[in-house]
Amino acid sequence: MPVPPNERRPDHPLDSQFIDRWSPRAFSPAPVPRDVLNTLFEAARWAPSCFNEQPWLFLVATEKDDLVRFGDLLSTGNQVWATRAPVLAFLFARRVFSHTGRPNRTFMFDCGAAWMSLALQACKLGLFAHAMAGFKREELYGELGVSPDDYEAICAIAIGSYGDVALLPPDVAAREKPNDRRPISSFVVYGRMGQDAGTEAADSAS
């Protein structure tokens, strides 16, 4: 299936994987073999984390029954496209350090690094991974047997190859292309805030 043109234009040279990766909604139902999934999770595995805690936990659906259960836990807006994906996952994070039981301030941050690794590895294999913050948080823990005392549910992830955009609802299909970003000058400040008067970031802090 043809992938929409990627019209992203970086302002500075960078490795192409960072602009090649995006979050489509047109997924093909073609299965992703288990060995390929192993490679995606292997990439997530090597992400850095505070005290090497590795706070991530992925619950994964690849079989029909599980896909239905996982799909039912997505928000309605995500169900319209994500339930066609051959793989759905929920990413949870352990809230406390294993070795001390004390709160881990960076558990969400570290899981973001693991997620990015997975998404980039998917891209290297011609696949896409699309993370979703919209899911039924109240039902999720019980349905998936995860303790909300131990874990925080972060996002759902659809994984697969590109599919047929014509199968998306028209309003979803209309926004099916890689999105843009603010320039680095909007979020990089040299020195103190306000000192670096030339940047938009300094302005946006006021």
Q: Could you say which residues in the range 128-147 bind a copy of itself, by CB under 8 A?
A: 131, 133, 143-147
Q: Which residue number, 9 or 166, has a Cβ lying nearer to a copy of itself?
A: 9
Q: Which residue number, 169 or 181, has a Cβ lying nearer to a copy of itself?
A: 181
Looking at the DSSP bridge assignments, the partners of residue 94 are 151
> Binding of a copy of itself at residue 154 (CB under 8 A)?
yes
- Give min distance, CB of 70 to a copy of itself, in A: 9
Looking at the DSSP bridge assignments, the partners of residue 96 are 103
Place of tokens 């690849």: 62
* Neighbour tally for 64: CB within 10 Å: 8
Place of tokens 């941050």: 109
- Give min distance, CB of 19 to a copy of itself, in A: 5
> Binding of a copy of itself at residue 161 (CB under 8 A)?
no
- Give min distance, CB of 128 to a copy of itself, in A: 11
Measured at the CA of 130, the angle between CA 31 and CA 82, to 5 degrees, comes to: 60
> Binding of a copy of itself at residue 35 (CB under 8 A)?
yes
> Binding of a copy of itself at residue 103 (CB under 8 A)?
no
> Binding of a copy of itself at residue 183 (CB under 8 A)?
yes
Applying CB under 8 A, the site for a copy of itself has a residue count of: 79
- Give min distance, CB of 39 to a copy of itself, in A: 5
- Give min distance, CB of 67 to a copy of itself, in A: 10
Residue 196 phi, psi dihedral angles, 5° rounding: -90, 70
- Taking CA atoms, 205 is separated from 185, 190, 197, in Å, by 13, 14, 11
SS3 161: coil
> Binding of a copy of itself at residue 80 (CB under 8 A)?
no
Q: Which residue number, 14 or 166, has a Cβ lying nearer to a copy of itself?
A: 14
> Binding of a copy of itself at residue 57 (CB under 8 A)?
yes
The upper half-sphere exposure of residue 141, i.e. CA atoms within 13 Å in the direction of its Cβ, equals 12
> Binding of a copy of itself at residue 205 (CB under 8 A)?
yes
First to last CA, the chain: 46
Contact between residue 163 and residue 26 where contact means Cβ atoms under 8 Å apart: yes
